[in-house]
Amino acid sequence: MQRHFLGMRAAAAALATAVTLTGCGASGDSPDKVTLTLVAADYDVNGGQSSKTYWASLIKKFEVENSHIDVQVQIEPWTDVDRKVAELVKEGEAPDMAQIGAYADYAAADKLYTADQLLSVPVQANFLGPLVQAGEQRRVQYGLPFAASTRLLFYNKELFEQAGVAKAPETWEELREAAELLKSETDVDYPFALPLGPEEAQIETMMWLLGGEGNGYVDPGGSYSIDTDENTATLDWVKSNLVAPGLTGPGTPGELNRKAAYAAFTRGEVGMLNGHPSLMRQAEKAGIELGKVPVPGRDGKPKAPLGVADWIMGFKENGNKDEIGAFLNFLFTDENVLAFASQNDLLPVTVSASEAMELNPRHKNLREFLQELPSAQLPPVDKTSWALVSDDIKRNIGKAVAPGGSPAKVLDKIAQNAALEEEKERE
């Protein structure tokens, strides 16, 4: 499931500048007032009002240009938003649009409009290639990428200097050697923080699997391939070379969540970890001098960098296709895409906005992340079974590297469960 950039950069960017709301999906002729409902996730990690402010400003501008459409937005925390939307859909009260973490179940149940039913051709062509493919089921796009991110290896420059680590690691062996120096020379709590707790273990694990020259969780044909020899060898290496020697810190990786690992990094208690762009701002506020490089692989660069995306979608239930399309065409203009990405230290989902961000000196700290995205591989979010398989990984993968744990047995059990879910998916 390697995700490849589609190579539409110049054409898509040029087309995108010509997009207007009178294109496909817009409806400026109806005299009747239509109210659209949107359920969206809260991205403000500090509990502030930034998500509400973003949507309020965008909707106000949209309604000025589309006086016959009102948009009502409901902001929900990430811990609740997917469940809230699922409940509304189950009760027959689906919102017109939802901005959440997954789309596949709704697409498989024929509850969503396709991308080409909602978006103008220039807007649809402007999405980055890996995100288009991740949003497709049976070669039809339903999931519209809303925000994206990649991961880099973050390290504490001051601790590296104290430990005598001359350069950031580029291979697993160099990472192990750096972690050993951090432990022996600085006695830092977490030479390498490995968050395999249930918060986001499926993402941390996938980075390692790609670094071990595996395909991640699926083979090139899209079927689960979790317990491969490459994946087993990867977790064997992590267990033997990082966890067993005590280089991943106190406790076991299966008990460490990403949020706790990031907090420890900002306290100066972590030498290295695989980091999300949002950690940069937190580290800077805490006075941590942060370095960042591509995530190392076994012998150098991984098979592919990891990409992650969140999604927005339009539901058929209320029949407001034209009005939903008008709003989404407006949402995906460069101005609005860049405003959201910049506000949250995330990556734009379109070609033209990505190019604009990369050229803007204000966003030079995101350039390394941007460069990873066009060739990134995403988790198999197009599979309706992925939610259950992902949860299985979150709850159990930490056991593979725990004392007495067996990577082969844990991967085999997860693979068996995934095969059962995949069979249901085919029925």
* Of 273, 255, 149, nearest in space to 199 by CA: 255
Which domain does 140 fall in, by range? 9-149+308-375
- The answer, yes or no, to whether residue 153 has pLDDT greater than 50, is yes
Predicted TM-score (pTM) of this structure: 0.86
Same domain, 163 and 234: yes
Residues 169-186 have a mean pLDDT of 98
Residue 28 confidence (pLDDT): 42
Q: What is the mean pLDDT of residues 249-259?
A: 95
| Tens-place pLDDT, residues 85-110 | 999 999 999 999 999 999 999 999 99
**Rounded mean pLDDT of the chain?**
91
pLDDT band at 397 (very low <50, low <70, confident <90, very high): very high
Going by pLDDT thresholds of 50, 70 and 90, the confidence category of residue 426 is confident
Residues 95 and 203 in one domain: no
Question: What is the pairing mode between strands 190-192 and 270-275?
Answer: parallel
Element (H, E) at 244: none
Q: What is the pLDDT of residues 37-88, one digit of tens each?
A: 999 999 886 666 889 999 999 999 999 999 999 999 999 998 789 999 999 9
Residues 300 and 391 in one domain: yes
Q: Which pLDDT does position 49 carry in this prediction?
A: 87
The beta-strand segments (E) located in 230-280 are 270-275
User: Into how many domains does the chain fold?
Assistant: 2
SS3 306: strand
Residues 273 and 389 in one domain: yes
Same domain? For 334 and 396 the reply is no
Please check whether residue 228 lies inside any domain of the structure. yes
d(CA 207, CA 141): 25
Residues 141, 51 within the same domain: yes
Q: Are residues 113 and 232 in the same domain?
A: no
Q: Are 291 and 197 in contact (CB under 8 A)?
A: no
Per-residue pLDDT, averaged over 126-132, amounts to 95
Q: Determine the average pLDDT of the residues in 264-273.
A: 98
3 part of a folded domain: no
Does residue 396 belong to any structural domain of this protein?
yes
